[in-house]
Amino acid sequence: MAFEVKLPPLGDDAPDEAEISFWYVEEGDTVEEGQDMVEMVTDKAAFTVPAPVAGTIRSITAAEGDKVQVGQVMAIVEQ
């Protein structure tokens, strides 16, 4: 089963997008649930997005330096 890794809501007073600063994983890597996958930055903060499930990274759909919108798919994890 495939799970989408999306940019989560950033809060009421936060912007609706963030920039990908650094991927901690590559396609083909295995991850544990809760493991940090990607570092994101806004003009106010830096934060990480964890893996929603344990599995294998099947695809990364946004690159370092890309700005992504809240709810946008950044990667696919196959369980």
Mean pLDDT computed over 14-34: 95
Closest CA to 16 of 44, 51, 50, 52: 44
Q: Answer yes or no: is pLDDT of 72 > 80.
A: yes
Determine the Cα–Cα distance for residues 58 and 30; give it in Å rounded to an integer.
9
Determine the Cα–Cα distance for residues 20 and 28; give it in Å rounded to an integer.
19
Mean pLDDT computed over 42-50: 93
Q: Answer yes or no: is pLDDT of 74 > 80.
A: yes
Q: Answer yes or no: is pLDDT of 14 > 80.
A: no
pLDDT at 50: 96
Q: What is the pTM of this model?
A: 0.90
Which domains are present in the chain?
Answer: 2-78 (2.40.50.100)
Determine the Cα–Cα distance for residues 31 and 51; give it in Å rounded to an integer.
7
